Chain A
Amino acid sequence: MNKQDFPIFAAYPDTVYLDSAATAQKPQCVMDAVAQYYAAENANPLRGLYDLSVRATDAYENARTAVRDFIHAASKREIIFTRNATESLNLVAYSWGRETLCRHDEILVAVSEHHSNLVPWQIVSQKTGARLRFLECDKTGTYTEAMLRNALTPQTKIFAIAQISNVFGILNPIREFAEICHKNDTLIVCDGTQSVPHLPVDVQALDVDFLAFSGHKMYAPMGIGVLYGKRELLEQMPPFLSGGEMIEYVQRESATYAELPHKFEAGTVNVGGAVGLHAAIDYINRIGFDKIQQHENRLTALAFEQMREISGVQIIGAPDAAAHHGIITFSVDGVHPHDIAAIFDADRIAVRAGHHCAQPLHQYLGAASTARMSIGLYNDEQDIERFISTLKTVRRRMGYE
């Protein structure tokens, strides 16, 4: 579907790209939008008093409006542009966490979290004395409402969890989790990196307090990301970075800060990236999530059902394809994941191998590392066929059988 929109596949017609959970390829329309911005609208935004600067400001703020509409936020002021989801989550940890938490408080982190939603909380815990605790999933990657209720205590101030796990591909019931958290006076910070590119996300319906995601995994350029935060929370939080653009009035010893969202966007911002993200959102909307989900889920099922039949291949996570949302993590008996990835690479198929930035989860699963294939909207049946036919050869090529 839509493979022809992505120039990289014209440059490498032989390559099968199954690593979209790491980063997605970019459609021509995104590249054109970025080039057009730099060709016709570039100036330093938000401060210039001349025509070009106004154009740059408009391009940037129009992108913010597009993001607001895309995730159904109540206000543009709740959309903070960052470099990526990691920076967004660090913003929450540093600005909210370090300011608010103290000894006797607890931070609850899902054990399957990507390092970006774990390590910042480890640091907050070390700096504030707040206790870091883990919500453990079962072997299929499932977290239930009962598990969460049991893990929350009166001291739990924040719960960190991804909407879709980058290892299991499983979709967590974030709306239900948010409700449980809020009854306990606990905030919920959600990593939407693997969900926002693949399914409709409505932050008001989910009622999350914070949502972080990266542009580059949703067909936008690298270097642009988003933090959504509820306005009343963002208003109370101190700036994360400081300097130009985020101030209102500066004296020698002190300064007053700009209003939201600029309070959190210090320094000259990435307008080109924001414009690219805007174009990526328009692209996704033109195709429509109905079609994207139907296509990606069909390919996931096609791969999953065949992988199950290959002897020596173990799928990590839920036993049904519908729970995987384009992400299938697996191992091959007796073969290290790096050798698996090297064999795929020799057949010009890109898959990921390693711990997928989730080392505590791999320790919990008892696996040093795993291999992962992940699907984007540009993949097709031929890609899955090539993947399966190479997977069938892996054990033999490593000297087994």
Chain B
Amino acid sequence: MNDHFYNEVLIDHNLHPQHLHELPCATCSHAGLNPSCGDEITLHLQLENGIVQSGSYTGVGCAISQASADIMLDLIIGRQKEDALHLAELFKKMIAGEISDDELDELEEAGAFQNVSKMPARVKCAVLAWKTLELLLHENG
């Protein structure tokens, strides 16, 4: 019987994160804090020639914040910095409930968070990783 509270993608990334670890080869890191919830993640990236060569996150938080960070890293590793920032824009658009179907396809698994646009109390949790990514990339551009 499937009575999971969140959808399978989110539950799975929360229980079995791929990118929750330290990153010794990181060239930059940035901490993100969601004070209302107490979610805290630190994003680590290895940036070379404008490409996200590898990435990870560390920290603690609710399922939404943790799964969002894990899925984000799946999406951006191997991409150009500009592409990563474009996806961050799309993610925020989705949470604001303003995304088109084509744009939603671009977000791949991150589209699993679309319902968060109907959960105002959890918006900050979902966008924490993406906002941290934007800060990190703008500081290291």
Contacts and interface: CB of A to CB of B under 8 A. Distances in A.
Interface of A: 335-339, 342-343, 346, 354-355, 368-369, 393, 396-400
A346 B5 CA distance: 9
B4 A339 contact: no
Interface string B17-47: 0000000000000000000111110000000
26 contacts: A336-B60, A336-B63, A338-B62, A338-B122, A338-B125, A339-B6, A339-B62, A339-B64, A342-B121, A342-B122, A343-B5, A346-B5, A354-B36, A354-B37, A355-B38, A368-B38, A369-B37, A397-B5, A398-B5, A398-B11, A398-B15, A398-B63, A399-B4, A399-B11, A399-B12, A399-B15
A398 B14 contact: yes
Nearest to B8: A399
Contacts of B14: 398-399
A368 B15 CA distance: 19
A338 B123 CA distance: 12
A396 B3 contact: yes
Contacts of A339: 5-6, 62-64
B111 interface: no
A146 to B, nearest CB: 33
The number of chain B residues touching the other chain, given as a range, is 20 to 34
Contacts of A393: 3
A354 to B, nearest CB: 6
A51 B127 CA distance: 58
B38 A342 contact: no
A155 B121 CA distance: 45
Nearest to B59: A368
Given A336-B62, A398-B15, 20 more contacts: A338-B62, A338-B64, A338-B122, A339-B5, A339-B6, A339-B62, A339-B63, A339-B64, A342-B122, A343-B5, A354-B38, A355-B38, A368-B60, A393-B3, A397-B3, A398-B5, A398-B11, A398-B14, A398-B63, A399-B11
A399 B11 CA distance: 6
A346 B121 CA distance: 13
Contacts of A400: 15
B115 to A, nearest CB: 12
Interface centre among B5, B14, B15, B119 (most CB of A within 10 A): B5
Contacts of A337: 62
Contacts of B6: 339, 398
A337 B121 CA distance: 13
Contacts of A368: 38, 40, 60
Contacts of A398: 4-6, 11, 14-15, 63
Interface string B81-92: 000000000000
Interface string B49-71: 00000000000111110100000
